[in-house]
Amino acid sequence: MQRLWSLIRNKYLLAALAFLVWMLFFDRNDFATQYSYQKQKANLESERSFYLKENAAIIKTINDIRSNPQEVQRIAREKYKMKKDNEDIYVITKVAAKENH
């Protein structure tokens, strides 16, 4: 009991504990805030990698369109349903099978 009382009366230990409690819970950069910042950083980095991949795909498509006239025609036909004057277009879509319950 005497040893515990001497530890409690130690001013350096009390100051260190007070500092630790303050930094962990009450400071503006406390543990919970740092955790949320790290989580937000991870989300932003994943978004960044997604947009970098999207950007690379778009740049590749733009380069294909600029260098290949058949690519322009393919995109116009597939995406915008364009056709020549003497052509008919039939759009075939897949229908999901219904389950009987």
Average pLDDT estimate for 75-83 = 86
Q: Would you state the pLDDT for residue 92?
A: 84
C-alpha 59/C-alpha 80 separation (Å) is 20
Residue-wise DSSP of 24-37? IIISTT-HHHHHHH
Q: Would you state the pLDDT for residue 14?
A: 83
Chain mean position to CA 73: 34
Residue 101 is assigned to a structural domain of this protein: no
Distances (CA, A) of 86 to 35, 52, 82, 83: 64, 41, 12, 8
Confidence of residue 57 (pLDDT cuts 50, 70, 90): very high
Residue 16 is assigned to a structural domain of this protein: yes
Q: Would you state the pLDDT for residue 101?
A: 66
Residue 31 is assigned to a structural domain of this protein: yes
Question: How many domains does one find in the chain?
Answer: 1
User: pLDDT tens digit string along 3-54?
Assistant: 767 767 788 888 888 888 888 888 888 888 889 999 999 999 999 999 999 9
Domain range for 75: 2-80
Other Cβ atoms closer than 10 A to 94: 5
Is residue 83 classed as helix, strand or coil in its secondary structure? coil
